[in-house]
């Protein structure tokens, strides 16, 4: 990295997926499940680098796919 380049505070879903070695769809699932905090900038969704670091530090993030409402009803 160049000394003149600043680390971004917010990244796109695609950049977040690349940094975490996940698919963009997996990032979308985590956002939908409110497991990653986001910010809206104009019409786009941005993810704070603090969230990227938090997810990267986790030993296990569990199932990424969203839980369907019928699965929740059957589990009860």
Count of C-beta atoms within a 10 Å radius of residue 71: 9
Residue 30 lies in a domain: yes
pTM of the entire predicted model: 0.73
Please give the chain's pLDDT, 76 residues, in tens: 456 688 889 999 999 999 999 999 999 999 999 999 999 999 999 999 999 999 999 877 666 776 665 555 555 5
Residue 29 lies in a domain: yes
End-to-end alpha carbon distance in the chain: 51
Residue 71 lies in a domain: no
Residue 23 lies in a domain: yes
**CA neighbor of 21 nearest in space, from 56, 50, 45, 54:** 56
27: containing domain: 10-64
Q: How many domains does the chain have?
A: 1
Residue 52 lies in a domain: yes
């Amino acid at each position: 990295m160049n000394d003149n380049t600043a680390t971004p505070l917010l990244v796109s879903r695609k950049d977040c997926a690349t940094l975490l070695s996940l698919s963009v769809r997996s990032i979308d699932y985590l956002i939908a499940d409110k497991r990653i905090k986001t910010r809206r900038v104009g019409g786009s969704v941005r993810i704070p680098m603090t969230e990227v670091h938090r997810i990267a530090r986790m030993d296990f993030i569990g199932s990424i796919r969203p839980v369907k409402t019928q699965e929740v009803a059957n589990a009860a």
